[in-house]
């Protein structure tokens, strides 16, 4: 259920002020320290950002997809690592539980996820499994724990797991049968403190400093039967539903980053002078700004239209893939033009443009590469008959 317009407008205003006055001044510090300050994380908790997509009955804000997309656009106007800090709680880390969890599972976990007391992660990718997500090798085999209770014994390694270094709860996709492809995959809620669960050192990355990714290892970890999400063999379907929503959220963030870059370019071009006048008056600079603005407007319209369709109950598998594909490719082009408009300054760290240039590169890879989105778009188009 959507918030009333006045309440939602107040939320947007609060987030916009938080981004501009609190987060943007910290961007260089986060890049250097590779971490989000603890007091900022606490402020995010108090604002309800960890529970944007979780129902009010569990302590969240219960935003619709259209409302969540607008919030994501606002959050995109700063370093993406800030949003990523709570992004797994809002999206891929919690939505499997929201979509497929039992009443007991939801009551146990969702209130603490919404408050930010628990950080969640989504564990699908493996060392040998990326885009071919139906081929997971991590296994969950029925067995007994030390007290003789029925459990799944979970063994395997997950790779590049966002927020793994801080996560208290993992949604893990593991193979429970030898059925081919996704049909043999099931989903599990795996607490970090289970015996046999360990997290590796965070990886060094190209961009999005402050948002950590790491391996998660499972060595015969005893997962209670009650922690399975859905029935055996439903894990792949759950994962795809989660990613449909996550892709739309990421597309909205891409729009926000592009809008930030355009604003920075316009401000710089109005001040920087060459050949006796501001570079904003040179037509080739104007052309780059015009292209960036047009593409950003198109992406914004696609995201918001798709979000509204999802809220209406429409199947948006194709449209979510298209939004993520177009918006992530678009923001890469906008970032590249921004470096060009800033010239030498765009290549220097002080201006922050090169940082955003590095940050946005990941959008074309995670939650499904651009090439995977193309496959989904083509498949769904043919399925619908064009």
For 250-282, the pLDDT digits (tens) are 999 999 999 999 999 999 999 999 999 999 999
Amino acid 386: pLDDT? 62
Total Cβ atoms within 10 A of residue 108: 15
Q: What is the per-residue pLDDT across 326-359, written as a single tens digit (0 to 9) for each?
A: 999 999 999 999 999 999 999 999 999 999 999 9
Mean pLDDT computed over every residue of the chain: 95
**DSSP per-residue letters across 10-55:** HHHHHHHHIIIIIIGGGHHHHHHHSS--HHHHHHHHHHTGGGTTS-
Amino acid 136: pLDDT? 93
Give catalytic status of residue 367 as yes or no: yes
Higher pLDDT, 199 or 386: 199
Q: What is the per-residue pLDDT across 32-49, written as a single tens digit (0 to 9) for each?
A: 999 999 999 999 999 999
**Cα–Cα distance for residue pair 169/114, rounded to 1 Å:** 13
Domains and CATH numbers, the chain: 5-115 (1.10.540.10), 120-232 (2.40.110.10), 237-383 (1.20.140.10)
Question: What average pLDDT does the segment 61-83 reach?
Answer: 97
- Assigned token pair, 246: 């996550």
Q: Would the pLDDT of 97 be above 90?
A: yes
Query: Is 142 in a helix, a strand, or coil?
Result: strand
Q: What is the per-residue pLDDT across 274-289, written as a single tens digit (0 to 9) for each?
A: 999 999 999 999 999 9
CA distances from 154 to 119, 190, 219 (A): 21, 9, 7
Report which of 327, 338, 335, 334 is spatially closest to residue 364, judged by C-alpha positions.
327
Do 3 and 70 meet the contact criterion of CB atoms below 8 Å apart? no
Q: Would the pLDDT of 363 be above 70?
A: yes
Do 226 and 273 meet the contact criterion of CB atoms below 8 Å apart? no
- Predicted TM-score (pTM) of the model is 0.95
Amino acid 287: pLDDT? 98
Total Cβ atoms within 10 A of residue 376: 22
Q: What is the per-residue pLDDT across 127-177, written as a single tens digit (0 to 9) for each?
A: 998 888 788 999 999 998 888 889 999 999 999 999 999 999 999 999 999
- Assigned token pair, 183: 């049909």
- Print burial letters for 246-262: b (CB count within 10 Å at least 16), e (below 16): bbbbbbbbbbbbbbbbb
Which of 26-30, 125-129, 305-309, 374-378 has the lowest average pLDDT?
Answer: 125-129
**Cα–Cα distance for residue pair 247/251, rounded to 1 Å:** 6
Q: Would the pLDDT of 20 be above 80?
A: yes
**Cα–Cα distance for residue pair 293/89, rounded to 1 Å:** 31
**Proportion of the chain above pLDDT 90, given as a percent:** 90
In the set 46, 271, 367, 380, the catalytic residue is: 367
Half-sphere exposure for 320 (CA within 13 Å, toward CB): 25
Cα four-point dihedral sign 42, 68, 64, 171: negative
**Proportion of the chain above pLDDT 70, given as a percent:** 99
**Cα–Cα distance for residue pair 121/104, rounded to 1 Å:** 20
Do 221 and 153 meet the contact criterion of CB atoms below 8 Å apart? yes
Q: Would the pLDDT of 1 be above 80?
A: no
């Amino acid at each position: 259920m959507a918030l009333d317009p006045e309440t939602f407008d107040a939320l947007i205003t609060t987030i916009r002020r938080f981004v501009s006055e609190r987060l943007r001044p910290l961007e260089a510090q986060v890049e250097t320290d590779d971490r989000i300050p603890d007091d900022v994380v606490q402020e995010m908790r108090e604002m309800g950002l960890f529970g944007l997509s979780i129902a009010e009955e569990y302590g969240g804000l219960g935003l619709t997809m259209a409302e969540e997309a607008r919030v994501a656009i606002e959050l995109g106007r700063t370093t993406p690592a800030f949003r990523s800090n709570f992004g797994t709680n809002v999206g891929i880390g919690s939505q499997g539980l929201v979509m497929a969890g039992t009443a007991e599972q939801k009551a146990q976990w969702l209130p603490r996820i919404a408050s930010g007391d628990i950080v969640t992660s989504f564990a699908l990718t493996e060392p040998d499994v990326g885009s071919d997500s139906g081929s997971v090798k991590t296994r969950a085999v029925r067995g007994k724990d030390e007290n003789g209770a029925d459990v799944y014994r979970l063994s395997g390694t997950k790779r590049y797991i966002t927020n793994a270094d801080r996560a208290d709860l993992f949604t893990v996709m593991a193979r429970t049968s030898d059925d081919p492809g996704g049909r043999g995959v099931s989903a599990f809620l795996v607490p970090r403190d289970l015996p046999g669960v360990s997290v590796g050192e965070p990886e060094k990355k190209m961009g999005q400093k402050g948002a950590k990714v790491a391996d998660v290892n499972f060595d015969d970890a005893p997962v209670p039967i009650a922690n399975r999400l859905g029935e055996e063999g439903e894990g792949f379907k759950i994962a795809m539903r989660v990613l449909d929503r996550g892709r739309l959220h990421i597309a909205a963030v891409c729009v926000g980053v592009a809008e930030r870059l355009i604003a920075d370019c316009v401000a710089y071009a109005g001040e920087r002078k060459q050949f006796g006048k501001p570079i904003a008056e040179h037509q080739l600079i104007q052309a780059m700004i015009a292209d960036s603005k047009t593409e950003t407007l198109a992406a914004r319209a696609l995201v918001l239209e798709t979000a509204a369709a999802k809220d209406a109950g429409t199947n948006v598998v194709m449209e979510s893939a298209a939004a993520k594909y177009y918006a992530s490719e678009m923001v890469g082009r906008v970032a590249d033009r921004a470096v060009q408009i800033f010239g030498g300054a765009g290549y220097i760290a002080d201006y922050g443009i090169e940082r955003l240039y590095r940050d946005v590169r990941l959008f074309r890879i995670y939650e499904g590469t651009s090439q995977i989105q193309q496959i989904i778009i083509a498949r769904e188009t043919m399925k619908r008959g064009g």
